[in-house]
Amino acid sequence: MSYGLSDEQVAVQHTVREFAQRELGPLVAEAEATGRFPRPQILPRMAELGLLSVGVPESLGGSGGGSLLLCVLAEEIARVSGGFAIGAMASILAPAILVRLQGEQANRALLEPLMTGQILPALAFTEPRGGSDLASMTTTATKTEGGVRLRGQKTFISNGPTADAFLVAAVRADHAGLPREERAKGIGVHVVLRGTPGVSFGPPMKKLGMRSSETSEVFLDDAFAPAGGLGGGTGAGRGFRQMMELLDVNRLYISALSVGLAQAAFEASLAYAKERSAFGKPIGHHQAVGFKVARMAMRLDAARALVQRASELLDRGERCTRQVSEAKLFCTEAAVEITSDAVQIHGAYGYVEDLPVERYFRDARVGPIWEGTNEIQQQIICRELGLYGE
Protein backbone atom coordinates (compact mmCIF):
# COMPACT_ATOMS: atom_id res chain seq x y z
CA MET A 1 0.00 0.00 0.00
CA SER A 2 1.43 3.38 -0.86
CA TYR A 3 -1.46 5.00 -2.74
CA GLY A 4 -3.04 7.56 -0.41
CA LEU A 5 -0.11 7.58 2.02
CA SER A 6 1.82 10.74 2.89
CA ASP A 7 5.61 10.87 2.35
CA GLU A 8 6.07 10.38 6.08
CA GLN A 9 3.81 7.33 6.11
CA VAL A 10 5.66 5.88 3.11
CA ALA A 11 8.95 6.33 5.00
CA VAL A 12 7.57 4.36 7.98
CA GLN A 13 6.25 1.75 5.57
CA HIS A 14 9.74 1.28 4.12
CA THR A 15 11.25 1.00 7.60
CA VAL A 16 8.80 -1.64 8.75
CA ARG A 17 8.98 -3.53 5.44
CA GLU A 18 12.73 -3.77 5.61
CA PHE A 19 12.64 -4.72 9.29
CA ALA A 20 10.01 -7.41 8.65
CA GLN A 21 11.75 -8.91 5.65
CA ARG A 22 15.30 -8.78 6.98
CA GLU A 23 14.81 -9.45 10.69
CA LEU A 24 11.49 -11.24 11.04
CA GLY A 25 11.66 -13.39 7.91
CA PRO A 26 14.47 -15.63 9.20
CA LEU A 27 12.52 -16.30 12.44
CA VAL A 28 9.35 -17.58 10.79
CA ALA A 29 10.16 -21.26 10.16
CA GLU A 30 11.22 -22.00 13.73
CA ALA A 31 8.36 -20.01 15.26
CA GLU A 32 5.84 -21.89 13.11
CA ALA A 33 7.37 -25.23 14.07
CA THR A 34 7.54 -24.53 17.82
CA GLY A 35 4.36 -22.48 18.08
CA ARG A 36 6.24 -19.77 19.99
CA PHE A 37 6.13 -16.04 19.33
CA PRO A 38 9.80 -14.94 19.44
CA ARG A 39 9.12 -11.95 21.64
CA PRO A 40 12.75 -11.15 22.66
CA GLN A 41 13.81 -10.81 19.03
CA ILE A 42 10.75 -8.82 17.99
CA LEU A 43 9.46 -6.41 20.63
CA PRO A 44 12.69 -4.61 21.67
CA ARG A 45 13.60 -4.01 18.01
CA MET A 46 10.13 -2.73 17.23
CA ALA A 47 10.38 -0.37 20.20
CA GLU A 48 13.80 0.84 18.99
CA LEU A 49 12.30 1.63 15.58
CA GLY A 50 9.44 3.54 17.23
CA LEU A 51 6.89 1.01 15.99
CA LEU A 52 5.32 0.37 19.41
CA SER A 53 4.36 3.98 19.94
CA VAL A 54 2.55 4.75 16.70
CA GLY A 55 -0.71 6.53 17.50
CA VAL A 56 0.83 8.09 20.63
CA PRO A 57 1.55 11.81 20.27
CA GLU A 58 5.12 13.02 20.62
CA SER A 59 4.09 15.01 23.72
CA LEU A 60 3.57 11.64 25.44
CA GLY A 61 6.82 10.18 24.12
CA GLY A 62 5.26 8.46 21.10
CA SER A 63 5.98 8.40 17.36
CA GLY A 64 2.72 10.10 16.35
CA GLY A 65 0.59 8.98 13.43
CA GLY A 66 -2.84 7.42 13.53
CA SER A 67 -4.90 4.41 12.55
CA LEU A 68 -3.68 4.34 8.96
CA LEU A 69 -0.10 3.96 10.12
CA LEU A 70 -1.13 1.19 12.53
CA CYS A 71 -2.65 -0.53 9.49
CA VAL A 72 0.58 -0.10 7.54
CA LEU A 73 2.42 -1.94 10.34
CA ALA A 74 -0.17 -4.74 10.33
CA GLU A 75 0.07 -5.19 6.56
CA GLU A 76 3.85 -5.18 6.36
CA ILE A 77 4.38 -7.59 9.27
CA ALA A 78 1.65 -9.93 7.98
CA ARG A 79 3.30 -10.06 4.56
CA VAL A 80 6.09 -11.92 6.33
CA SER A 81 4.11 -13.69 9.05
CA GLY A 82 0.46 -13.51 10.03
CA GLY A 83 1.36 -15.09 13.38
CA PHE A 84 3.88 -12.36 14.16
CA ALA A 85 1.33 -9.69 13.20
CA ILE A 86 -1.01 -11.24 15.78
CA GLY A 87 1.67 -11.76 18.42
CA ALA A 88 2.61 -8.08 18.10
CA MET A 89 -0.94 -6.81 17.61
CA ALA A 90 -1.72 -6.00 21.25
CA SER A 91 1.74 -4.42 21.68
CA ILE A 92 1.20 -2.22 18.63
CA LEU A 93 -2.38 -1.26 19.47
CA ALA A 94 -2.44 -0.98 23.27
CA PRO A 95 -0.48 2.32 23.53
CA ALA A 96 -2.61 3.93 20.82
CA ILE A 97 -5.79 2.64 22.46
CA LEU A 98 -4.75 3.94 25.89
CA VAL A 99 -4.21 7.38 24.44
CA ARG A 100 -7.41 7.26 22.39
CA LEU A 101 -9.40 6.44 25.53
CA GLN A 102 -7.55 8.47 28.15
CA GLY A 103 -5.96 11.32 26.16
CA GLU A 104 -3.18 13.29 27.88
CA GLN A 105 -4.15 11.58 31.17
CA ALA A 106 -3.05 8.20 29.77
CA ASN A 107 -1.82 5.84 32.49
CA ARG A 108 1.98 6.42 32.22
CA ALA A 109 2.81 3.44 34.41
CA LEU A 110 1.33 1.28 31.66
CA LEU A 111 2.06 3.40 28.59
CA GLU A 112 5.83 3.61 28.99
CA PRO A 113 6.59 -0.12 29.41
CA LEU A 114 4.21 -0.82 26.52
CA MET A 115 6.00 1.61 24.21
CA THR A 116 9.41 0.18 25.10
CA GLY A 117 8.25 -3.40 24.59
CA GLN A 118 9.00 -4.30 28.21
CA ILE A 119 5.55 -5.70 28.74
CA LEU A 120 3.54 -7.87 26.40
CA PRO A 121 -0.19 -7.14 26.57
CA ALA A 122 -3.21 -9.31 25.69
CA LEU A 123 -6.80 -8.33 24.97
CA ALA A 124 -9.14 -10.65 26.85
CA PHE A 125 -12.79 -10.27 25.81
CA THR A 126 -14.02 -13.62 24.47
CA GLU A 127 -15.56 -16.17 26.83
CA PRO A 128 -16.21 -19.90 26.37
CA ARG A 129 -19.97 -19.38 26.03
CA GLY A 130 -19.58 -17.00 23.12
CA GLY A 131 -17.54 -14.22 21.61
CA SER A 132 -20.11 -12.62 19.32
CA ASP A 133 -22.51 -11.49 22.02
CA LEU A 134 -20.12 -9.50 24.17
CA ALA A 135 -22.90 -7.83 26.13
CA SER A 136 -23.73 -11.24 27.60
CA MET A 137 -20.27 -11.79 29.08
CA THR A 138 -20.27 -13.33 32.54
CA THR A 139 -16.86 -12.32 33.92
CA THR A 140 -17.64 -9.99 36.81
CA ALA A 141 -15.82 -7.04 38.35
CA THR A 142 -16.56 -6.45 42.03
CA LYS A 143 -15.51 -3.15 43.52
CA THR A 144 -12.92 -3.39 46.25
CA GLU A 145 -10.43 -1.09 48.00
CA GLY A 146 -8.29 0.53 45.27
CA GLY A 147 -9.76 -1.35 42.30
CA VAL A 148 -11.87 -4.36 41.38
CA ARG A 149 -11.73 -8.13 41.79
CA LEU A 150 -12.29 -10.09 38.57
CA ARG A 151 -13.92 -13.49 38.44
CA GLY A 152 -14.56 -15.50 35.28
CA GLN A 153 -12.95 -17.21 32.30
CA LYS A 154 -11.69 -15.90 28.97
CA THR A 155 -10.73 -18.01 26.00
CA PHE A 156 -8.89 -17.88 22.64
CA ILE A 157 -6.71 -15.12 24.07
CA SER A 158 -3.76 -14.25 21.82
CA ASN A 159 -0.57 -13.99 23.93
CA GLY A 160 -2.56 -15.63 26.75
CA PRO A 161 0.27 -17.95 27.80
CA THR A 162 2.96 -15.25 27.95
CA ALA A 163 1.38 -11.80 28.37
CA ASP A 164 2.40 -9.52 31.24
CA ALA A 165 -0.75 -7.38 31.21
CA PHE A 166 -4.30 -8.42 30.34
CA LEU A 167 -6.92 -5.92 29.23
CA VAL A 168 -9.92 -7.79 30.58
CA ALA A 169 -13.52 -6.91 29.77
CA ALA A 170 -15.92 -7.62 32.64
CA VAL A 171 -19.39 -6.65 33.78
CA ARG A 172 -19.91 -4.93 37.12
CA ALA A 173 -21.16 -7.49 39.61
CA ASP A 174 -24.17 -5.33 40.48
CA HIS A 175 -25.17 -5.27 36.77
CA ALA A 176 -24.65 -8.98 36.10
CA GLY A 177 -28.25 -9.99 36.83
CA LEU A 178 -29.83 -7.16 34.82
CA PRO A 179 -31.45 -7.46 31.36
CA ARG A 180 -28.98 -7.44 28.44
CA GLU A 181 -29.13 -3.69 27.63
CA GLU A 182 -28.60 -2.74 31.27
CA ARG A 183 -25.82 -5.29 31.74
CA ALA A 184 -23.95 -3.75 28.82
CA LYS A 185 -23.86 -0.44 30.66
CA GLY A 186 -21.87 -2.11 33.44
CA ILE A 187 -19.12 -3.45 31.16
CA GLY A 188 -15.63 -2.04 31.55
CA VAL A 189 -12.07 -2.90 30.58
CA HIS A 190 -9.63 -3.51 33.44
CA VAL A 191 -5.91 -4.15 33.45
CA VAL A 192 -4.62 -7.21 35.33
CA LEU A 193 -0.94 -7.93 35.65
CA ARG A 194 0.69 -11.33 35.27
CA GLY A 195 1.62 -12.82 38.62
CA THR A 196 -1.42 -11.35 40.34
CA PRO A 197 -2.87 -14.01 42.64
CA GLY A 198 -5.94 -15.55 41.01
CA VAL A 199 -4.68 -15.25 37.39
CA SER A 200 -3.87 -18.53 35.63
CA PHE A 201 -3.73 -19.89 32.07
CA GLY A 202 -4.61 -22.93 30.05
CA PRO A 203 -2.04 -24.64 27.78
CA PRO A 204 -1.34 -23.15 24.33
CA MET A 205 -4.08 -24.16 21.88
CA LYS A 206 -3.26 -26.07 18.69
CA LYS A 207 -4.58 -24.10 15.73
CA LEU A 208 -5.14 -24.45 11.98
CA GLY A 209 -3.08 -21.33 11.32
CA MET A 210 -1.43 -18.36 13.02
CA ARG A 211 0.76 -20.96 14.69
CA SER A 212 3.55 -18.58 15.67
CA SER A 213 1.11 -16.68 17.87
CA GLU A 214 0.28 -18.28 21.20
CA THR A 215 -3.35 -18.63 22.23
CA SER A 216 -4.89 -19.86 25.49
CA GLU A 217 -7.62 -19.61 28.08
CA VAL A 218 -7.21 -17.16 30.96
CA PHE A 219 -8.79 -17.88 34.35
CA LEU A 220 -9.59 -15.11 36.80
CA ASP A 221 -10.33 -16.16 40.34
CA ASP A 222 -10.91 -12.96 42.32
CA ALA A 223 -7.87 -11.42 40.61
CA PHE A 224 -7.21 -7.82 41.64
CA ALA A 225 -7.13 -5.09 38.98
CA PRO A 226 -6.10 -1.66 40.26
CA ALA A 227 -8.24 1.36 39.49
CA GLY A 228 -6.97 3.58 36.69
CA GLY A 229 -6.39 0.83 34.12
CA LEU A 230 -8.79 1.74 31.39
CA GLY A 231 -11.54 2.84 33.76
CA GLY A 232 -14.98 2.10 32.40
CA GLY A 233 -17.75 0.11 34.00
CA THR A 234 -19.24 3.30 35.32
CA GLY A 235 -22.79 2.01 34.95
CA ALA A 236 -23.44 4.77 32.42
CA GLY A 237 -22.43 2.75 29.40
CA ARG A 238 -19.01 4.36 29.08
CA GLY A 239 -17.13 1.10 29.51
CA PHE A 240 -19.08 -0.70 26.78
CA ARG A 241 -18.63 2.25 24.43
CA GLN A 242 -14.90 2.18 25.18
CA MET A 243 -14.79 -1.49 24.34
CA MET A 244 -16.60 -0.88 21.04
CA GLU A 245 -14.18 1.94 20.17
CA LEU A 246 -11.33 -0.38 20.92
CA LEU A 247 -12.88 -2.97 18.60
CA ASP A 248 -12.96 -0.44 15.73
CA VAL A 249 -9.17 -0.09 15.93
CA ASN A 250 -8.73 -3.86 16.28
CA ARG A 251 -10.96 -4.55 13.29
CA LEU A 252 -9.01 -2.19 11.07
CA TYR A 253 -5.77 -3.80 12.17
CA ILE A 254 -7.19 -7.25 11.31
CA SER A 255 -8.39 -5.92 7.95
CA ALA A 256 -4.90 -4.67 7.12
CA LEU A 257 -3.31 -7.86 8.41
CA SER A 258 -5.53 -9.79 6.00
CA VAL A 259 -4.41 -7.51 3.17
CA GLY A 260 -0.78 -8.30 4.09
CA LEU A 261 -1.38 -12.05 3.88
CA ALA A 262 -3.22 -11.60 0.58
CA GLN A 263 -0.42 -9.41 -0.78
CA ALA A 264 2.16 -12.09 -0.02
CA ALA A 265 -0.04 -14.73 -1.70
CA PHE A 266 -0.55 -12.45 -4.71
CA GLU A 267 3.16 -11.76 -5.16
CA ALA A 268 3.98 -15.45 -4.96
CA SER A 269 1.22 -16.23 -7.49
CA LEU A 270 2.27 -13.54 -9.95
CA ALA A 271 5.86 -14.77 -9.93
CA TYR A 272 4.79 -18.41 -10.25
CA ALA A 273 2.36 -17.63 -13.08
CA LYS A 274 5.32 -16.21 -15.04
CA GLU A 275 7.88 -18.88 -14.27
CA ARG A 276 5.87 -22.13 -14.32
CA SER A 277 5.05 -23.53 -17.75
CA ALA A 278 2.37 -25.95 -18.93
CA PHE A 279 1.38 -26.86 -22.48
CA GLY A 280 4.35 -24.93 -23.83
CA LYS A 281 3.70 -21.53 -22.25
CA PRO A 282 3.77 -19.83 -18.84
CA ILE A 283 0.66 -20.81 -16.85
CA GLY A 284 -0.21 -17.09 -16.50
CA HIS A 285 -0.87 -17.06 -20.26
CA HIS A 286 -3.72 -19.50 -19.73
CA GLN A 287 -6.70 -17.28 -19.04
CA ALA A 288 -7.92 -19.42 -16.15
CA VAL A 289 -4.73 -18.58 -14.27
CA GLY A 290 -4.11 -15.05 -15.57
CA PHE A 291 -7.63 -13.93 -14.72
CA LYS A 292 -7.24 -15.22 -11.18
CA VAL A 293 -4.13 -13.07 -10.80
CA ALA A 294 -5.96 -10.07 -12.27
CA ARG A 295 -8.81 -10.50 -9.79
CA MET A 296 -6.32 -10.79 -6.93
CA ALA A 297 -4.82 -7.43 -7.87
CA MET A 298 -8.27 -5.83 -8.11
CA ARG A 299 -9.43 -7.18 -4.74
CA LEU A 300 -6.22 -6.06 -3.06
CA ASP A 301 -6.65 -2.52 -4.35
CA ALA A 302 -10.28 -2.41 -3.23
CA ALA A 303 -9.43 -3.87 0.18
CA ARG A 304 -6.75 -1.25 0.83
CA ALA A 305 -9.06 1.54 -0.24
CA LEU A 306 -11.65 0.41 2.33
CA VAL A 307 -9.00 0.26 5.07
CA GLN A 308 -7.80 3.75 4.18
CA ARG A 309 -11.28 5.25 4.13
CA ALA A 310 -12.25 3.79 7.50
CA SER A 311 -8.90 4.73 9.10
CA GLU A 312 -9.20 8.31 7.96
CA LEU A 313 -12.74 8.62 9.28
CA LEU A 314 -11.73 7.06 12.59
CA ASP A 315 -8.83 9.47 13.00
CA ARG A 316 -11.05 12.43 12.20
CA GLY A 317 -13.32 11.27 15.03
CA GLU A 318 -16.22 10.72 12.64
CA ARG A 319 -18.75 7.94 13.06
CA CYS A 320 -17.47 5.07 10.93
CA THR A 321 -18.94 1.87 12.36
CA ARG A 322 -20.29 0.81 8.96
CA GLN A 323 -17.08 1.65 7.13
CA VAL A 324 -14.99 -0.32 9.66
CA SER A 325 -17.29 -3.34 9.33
CA GLU A 326 -17.22 -3.10 5.53
CA ALA A 327 -13.42 -3.07 5.60
CA LYS A 328 -13.27 -6.05 7.98
CA LEU A 329 -15.81 -8.04 5.97
CA PHE A 330 -14.27 -7.30 2.57
CA CYS A 331 -10.59 -7.65 3.50
CA THR A 332 -10.95 -10.91 5.40
CA GLU A 333 -13.11 -12.46 2.66
CA ALA A 334 -10.70 -11.24 0.00
CA ALA A 335 -7.76 -12.75 1.90
CA VAL A 336 -9.46 -16.15 2.11
CA GLU A 337 -10.25 -16.06 -1.62
CA ILE A 338 -6.85 -14.76 -2.71
CA THR A 339 -4.85 -17.19 -0.57
CA SER A 340 -7.06 -20.06 -1.74
CA ASP A 341 -6.52 -19.06 -5.39
CA ALA A 342 -2.80 -18.86 -4.67
CA VAL A 343 -2.82 -22.49 -3.53
CA GLN A 344 -4.66 -23.43 -6.74
CA ILE A 345 -2.21 -21.54 -8.97
CA HIS A 346 0.71 -23.31 -7.31
CA GLY A 347 -0.85 -26.75 -7.87
CA ALA A 348 0.66 -29.42 -5.63
CA TYR A 349 3.45 -27.03 -4.58
CA GLY A 350 0.75 -24.88 -3.03
CA TYR A 351 -0.27 -27.75 -0.79
CA VAL A 352 3.08 -28.62 0.77
CA GLU A 353 5.15 -26.79 3.32
CA ASP A 354 8.14 -26.22 1.01
CA LEU A 355 6.52 -22.93 -0.02
CA PRO A 356 4.77 -20.45 2.31
CA VAL A 357 1.59 -20.42 0.20
CA GLU A 358 -0.19 -23.08 2.29
CA ARG A 359 0.62 -21.05 5.43
CA TYR A 360 -0.93 -17.89 3.97
CA PHE A 361 -4.07 -19.91 3.25
CA ARG A 362 -4.24 -21.39 6.77
CA ASP A 363 -3.50 -18.02 8.38
CA ALA A 364 -6.13 -16.15 6.36
CA ARG A 365 -8.93 -18.50 7.38
CA VAL A 366 -9.30 -17.00 10.86
CA GLY A 367 -10.06 -13.55 9.42
CA PRO A 368 -13.82 -14.06 8.98
CA ILE A 369 -14.03 -15.56 12.50
CA TRP A 370 -12.29 -13.17 14.87
CA GLU A 371 -12.84 -9.58 15.95
CA GLY A 372 -16.56 -10.09 15.39
CA THR A 373 -17.41 -12.79 12.88
CA ASN A 374 -18.31 -11.72 9.36
CA GLU A 375 -21.94 -12.61 10.06
CA ILE A 376 -21.85 -10.04 12.86
CA GLN A 377 -20.19 -7.48 10.56
CA GLN A 378 -23.07 -7.91 8.10
CA GLN A 379 -25.57 -7.42 10.92
CA ILE A 380 -23.77 -4.23 11.92
CA ILE A 381 -23.88 -2.95 8.34
CA CYS A 382 -27.61 -3.76 8.13
CA ARG A 383 -28.18 -1.92 11.41
CA GLU A 384 -26.16 1.09 10.30
CA LEU A 385 -28.15 1.20 7.06
CA GLY A 386 -31.32 1.49 9.15
CA LEU A 387 -32.62 -1.88 7.99
CA TYR A 388 -33.74 -2.80 11.52
CA GLY A 389 -35.28 0.60 12.25
CA GLU A 390 -33.76 3.46 14.21
Ligand X SMILES: Cc1cc2nc3c(=O)[nH]c(=O)nc-3n(C[C@H](O)[C@H](O)[C@H](O)COP(=O)(O)OP(=O)(O)OC[C@H]3O[C@@H](n4cnc5c(N)ncnc54)[C@H](O)[C@@H]3O)c2cc1C
State which residue has the least CB distance to ligand X: 131
Least gap, CB of 134 to ligand X (angstroms): 8
Q: Which of 46/122 has CB closer to ligand X?
A: 122
Least gap, CB of 122 to ligand X (angstroms): 6
One residue of 45, 207, 309, 383 binding ligand X per CB under 6 A: 207
Site for ligand X contains 157 (CB under 6 A) = yes
One residue of 273, 357, 370, 377 binding ligand X per CB under 6 A: 370
Site for ligand X contains 221 (CB under 6 A) = no
Catalytic residue among 75, 217, 358, 371: 371
One residue of 21, 41, 118, 132 binding ligand X per CB under 6 A: 132
Q: How far apart are CA 363 and CA 263, in angstroms?
A: 13
* Catalytic residue list contains 371: yes
Q: Which of 76/214 has CB closer to ligand X?
A: 214
Q: Which of 63/217 has CB closer to ligand X?
A: 217
One residue of 42, 47, 124, 313 binding ligand X per CB under 6 A: 124
Q: How far apart are the first and last CA of the chain?
A: 37
One residue of 9, 63, 107, 158 binding ligand X per CB under 6 A: 158
Q: Which of 28/123 has CB closer to ligand X?
A: 123
One residue of 31, 98, 123, 259 binding ligand X per CB under 6 A: 123
Least gap, CB of 163 to ligand X (angstroms): 9
Contact residues for ligand X, defined by CB under 6 A: 122-126, 130-132, 156-158, 207, 210, 215, 366, 369-373, 375-376, 379
Could you list the active site residues?
371
